[in-house]
Amino acid sequence: MAKAKHRALGGTLVTPVTLGLAVLIGLAVFLLAKRFIFGLGSVTNISNGYTWGIWVVWDVVIATGFACGGYAMALVTYILNKGEYHHLVRPALTASLFGYTLGGLSVLIDLGRYWNFWHILSPAYANTGSVMFEVAACISLYIVVLWIEFSPTFLEHFGKSKALLNKVMFVFIGLGVLLPSMHQSSLGSLIIVMGWHIHPLWQTTLVPLLFLLTAVCMGFAVVILEATLAAVGFKRDITGELPMLAKLGKIILMILSVFLALRFGDIIVRGAFGSIFTSGWRSLAFLVETGLFAAPIWMLWKPENRSRLSVLFPAALHMLTGAVLYRIDAFLIAYDPGPGWHYFPSVSELLVTLGVIALEVLAYIVFVRIFPILPGHPADVRS
Amino acid sequence: MTINRRDFLRAGLVGTAAAVVGAPPAEARDNKTVPEHAIGLLYDSTLCIGCKACMSACKTANDLPLDDTTGTGLWDTPHDLSGKTFTVIKLYQDGASKYKDQVIDGFAHIKRQCLHCADPSCVSACPVQAMQKRPEDGVVTYNPDACIGCRYCVAACPFKVPQFQYDTAFPKIAKCELCKQRLADGKIPACAQSCPTGATLFGAYNALSAEIERRKAMVPGQANIFPRRTVDSGDTHERASAEYTPQVYGQSELGGTQVRYLAGVPFDKFGLPVGLPERSYAAQSETLQHSLYGGLYAPGVVLAGLIGAAWHGSKDHHDDEDGGPHHG
């Protein structure tokens, strides 16, 4: 056996941080008990005007975008065959695993008739023309694929052979790229059937491509973010990973340029350009969103900037904030239910979302301490 | 080894090309049309006196609870459609509210309910076929036993009709199904049955189309005969006809609806969306879905490409603990 490239961090699981996370999770569990006894209205501010609140838009639409690290890294590492990124795959996959698993769990929380959820996977009920069917089925399957992709880590930890799994893994890697490509684009397509409810700056048949591009980009940005946070949080030296992160910065630069060109080209072709300036606070949301997408292009333009964590990190942060806003805009800000409706999440609603995020972070911390996930000593990661 | 722009674009192009080549010719999904034996309602705002007998009858026929917004527990006072209310009479008012069916200083009623679209967004949106359009008569039905409560129908409906119940642990979608249980018994919908002026009129879609033409040809102010309950019930009354606005709401909106409106004031005054395209949103959405995923043809081709690439890659570098040199 060659020397281990991935190492469990070890260390104690009980720290002020993990305890704080546990408190947030406990609070969310209490509020969810209320939701399941008294209905969605007892905890949330959603209404028949704005029927999808942050439990859908943040916990699913945005959280699965954040969880695209595994997808994006698998794409460059295994499909474009850039073995050099190999060490970044496993931590990215771990974050994806929790992001998607908890995204799936959040769906169950938000579904009014959750006990019927299995209908999504039953051919007797499936409506193949429904965008929601495509999204739900793909996300469910992808969660399974993620656990399979992640399973070598368990086998390693428990000292079991991975030979058999390695022989068939390429099938799951293929699926692990196809499924997110399908549902991340379809998350955008969800708004097409909403027709006039969605403001023309966001309503376009190009929306699946725009969502797909931002999803891939979010994946790369999250990897940069994770690497930085893991370095700071676990006091690790990431000099060895920096050249790879720099290249991810370049990919982000390229995708964002294509994205903005498509975004504006589409708006101009559809004759919606004027509404950039005449749509009140929706104009403002569009401009802020666009600014956040444009900033990383400017920051990462010079090659020497891309190898500096002090530039890469804020660039990734701008990219992610822009993508978060783009998804909030498309589903909430751009959504016009007609006169008389308002939505802002309730405190309880926000606390549940916070609890889900806390659970995700806690699971990540526990896993990287117990299982061999993060790259080992810098000397090992040079390739 | 570096990833450069060319490699990246090439991979992107290969994927896109595979998807395009793999896709069957992208056939636009046309609007679905009203079934041959479709039934429907005609609501004539100019005949409506706002008595709300339809609302009361609807509650009884569909076993719906009071929607008490006054907090007294005495009256059914819905502000709008809700989880407890399938139909509601709403009022347009301006200034002194003195003249019926006039925009200035006038008032007019509108009956909100499911319009039973020819090509419904809710049916297209629903992932589990809980919303269905009956092929025989075009009624848009809801099956709670299939419903997962995702509320995509609530978000998607262009007329904001399906209503979710937020105040119960076991919620359903609330929506008019044209009294399908009464239709099964050979009765007509409760609202049409109870309307004293024939403002809500039940009938075959085509018979209602003829009735709409007849009314639009009437000379405003002249006495005319108006049927009650159904077009051919024989139960009629005579009154002076009002001046109709040119638009028949639901005639062409998003491919048309089986419940249609006539009114004396423009429909935007009632808060209804106007200027809707004729092409249904369902057709737009499904055209895209079918050209991307029809027969799972394109995804299959892309998957084959991806698995091939991953297999090729797996020869170059195995999962690290098993050794093997990394290239790059």
Contact at CB, B293 and A134, closer than 8 angstroms: yes
CB pairs under 8 A between A and B: 254
Can you tell me the distance from the alpha carbon of B106 to that of B269, in angstroms, rounded to the nearest whole number? 11
Domain co-membership, B24 together with B158: no
Q: What is the pLDDT of residue B20?
A: 47
Q: What is the pLDDT of residue A13?
A: 85
Q: What is the pLDDT of residues B208-223, one digit of tens each?
A: 999 999 999 999 999 9
Say which of B164, B313, B323 has its CB closest to residue A112: B164
Q: What is the mean pLDDT of residues B47-72?
A: 95
Q: Is B25 exposed, middle or buried (0-12, 13-18, 19+ CB in 10 A)?
A: exposed
Say which of A49, A52, A196 has its CB closest to residue B158: A196
| CA–CA min distance B130, chain A (Å) | 8
CA B288 to mean position of chain CA atoms: 20
Q: What is the pLDDT of residue A374?
A: 80
Q: Closest-CA residue in chain A for B269?
A: A339
Say which of A48, A128, A383 has its CB closest to residue B328: A383
Contacts of A48 in chain B (CB under 8 A): 81-83, 154, 160, 163-164
Which H, E and C letters describe B117-168, residue by residue?
Answer: ECCCHHHHHCCCCCEEECCCCCCEEECCCCCCCCCHHHHHCCCCCCEECCCC
Contacts of A51 in chain B (CB under 8 A): 151, 154-155, 164
- Region of A195 (left: φ > 0; alpha: ψ -120 to 50; beta: rest) is left
CA B279 to mean position of chain CA atoms: 13
Can you tell me the distance from the alpha carbon of A234 to that of B276, in angstroms, rounded to the nearest whole number? 56
Structure tokens given for A204: 């376009």
Domain co-membership, B71 together with B188: yes
**Per-window interface: B 76-115 vs A, CB < 8 A:** 81-83
| CA–CA min distance B117, chain A (Å) | 14
Please tell me which of A1-5, A86-90, A165-169, B115-119 the model is most confident about, judged by mean pLDDT. Answer: B115-119
Q: How far is CA A257 from CA A45, A65, A244, A323, B17, in A?
A: 37, 19, 20, 14, 21
Best CA proximity match to A163, nearest among A342, A295, A1, A380 = A1
Domain co-membership, B73 together with B59: yes
Lowest mean pLDDT among A239-243, B197-201, B256-260, B321-325: B321-325
Q: What is the pLDDT of residue A383?
A: 33
Domain co-membership, B288 together with B274: no
Q: What is the mean pLDDT of residues A169-175?
A: 90
Q: Is B326 exposed, middle or buried (0-12, 13-18, 19+ CB in 10 A)?
A: middle
pLDDT reading at A287 higher than 70: yes
Domain co-membership, B79 together with B222: yes
Say which of B128, B172, B313 has its CB closest to residue A119: B128
Structure tokens given for A157: 């930890």
Domain co-membership, B145 together with B292: no
In a domain, B257, yes or no: yes
Q: What share of chain A is helix, strand, coil (3-state, %, to 5)?
A: 75, 0, 25
Domain co-membership, B83 together with B216: yes
pLDDT reading at A361 higher than 60: yes
Contacts of A39 in chain B (CB under 8 A): 165-169, 171
Q: What is the pLDDT of residues B282-314, one digit of tens each?
A: 999 999 988 888 878 888 888 988 888 888 877
Q: Are A249 and A312 in contact (CB under 8 A)?
A: yes
Domain co-membership, B287 together with B231: no
Query: Count of alpha carbons within 13 Å of A89, Cβ hemisphere only?
Result: 27
Q: What is the pLDDT of residues A186-197, one digit of tens each?
A: 999 999 999 999
Lowest mean pLDDT among A371-375, B4-8, B98-102, B171-175: B4-8
In a domain, B46, yes or no: yes
Say which of A36, A42, A86 has its CB closest to residue B320: A86
For domain A9-375, give the fold.
Answer: Formate dehydrogenase/DMSO reductase fold (1.20.1630)
pLDDT range class, residue B317, cuts 50, 70, 90: low
End-to-end CA distance of chain A: 18
In a domain, B229, yes or no: yes
Say which of A132, A254, A339 has its CB closest to residue B152: A132
Contact at CB, B284 and A205, closer than 8 angstroms: yes
Query: Count of alpha carbons within 13 Å of A355, Cβ hemisphere only?
Result: 20
Q: What is the pLDDT of residue B15?
A: 52
Best residue in A48, A115, A166, A203 for a mutation probing chain B (most B CBs within 10 Å): A48
Contacts of B312 in chain A (CB under 8 A): 81
Q: What is the pLDDT of residues A53-90, one digit of tens each?
A: 999 999 999 999 999 998 998 888 887 777 777 778 88
Q: What is the pLDDT of residue A4?
A: 45
3-class secondary structure, A89: helix
Q: Report the share of chain A in percent with pLDDT over 70.
A: 97
Q: What is the mean pLDDT of residues A300-325?
A: 94
Lowest mean pLDDT among A100-114, A275-289, B2-16, B64-78: B2-16
Q: The CATH number of the domain where B243 resides is what? A: 3.30.70.20
pLDDT range class, residue B322, cuts 50, 70, 90: very low
Q: What is the pLDDT of residue A237?
A: 77
| CA–CA min distance B275, chain A (Å) | 10
Tell me what the pLDDT averaged over chain A comes to: 91
Best CA proximity match to A177, nearest among B305, B74, B66 = B305
Contact at CB, B158 and A337, closer than 8 angstroms: no
| Sequence spans of domains, chain A | 9-375
In a domain, B247, yes or no: yes
Contacts of B273 in chain A (CB under 8 A): 196, 338
Domain co-membership, B47 together with B157: yes
Domain co-membership, B61 together with B149: yes
Can you tell me the distance from the alpha carbon of B146 to that of A377, in angstroms, rounded to the nearest whole number? 53
Which residue matches tokens 């052979």? Answer: A161
Please tell me which of A302-311, B25-34, B318-327 the model is most confident about, judged by mean pLDDT. Answer: A302-311
| CA–CA min distance A17, chain B (Å) | 32
| Amino acid residing at A69 | G
Which residues face B224 on adjacent strands? Answer: B239
Domain co-membership, B191 together with B257: yes
Q: Are A327 and A186 in contact (CB under 8 A)?
A: no
Structure tokens given for B71: 């907090």
Say which of B2, B7, B306 has its CB closest to residue A178: B306
pLDDT range class, residue A373, cuts 50, 70, 90: confident
Domain co-membership, B298 together with B248: no
CA angle A39–B155–A217, rounded 5-degree value: 105
Can you tell me the distance from the alpha carbon of B41 to that of A305, in angstroms, rounded to the nearest whole number? 67
Tell me what the pLDDT averaged over chain B comes to: 89
User: Which residues are CB-neighbours of B72 under 8 A, at least 6 positions away?
Assistant: none
Q: What is the mean pLDDT of residues A6-12?
A: 82
Count of domains observed in chain B: 2
In a domain, B170, yes or no: yes
Q: What is the pLDDT of residues B236-254, one digit of tens each?
A: 999 999 999 999 999 999 9
Task: Give the domain range for residue B239.
Answer: 39-278
Q: What is the mean pLDDT of residues B136-161?
A: 98
pTM of the predicted structure, to 2 decimals: 0.90
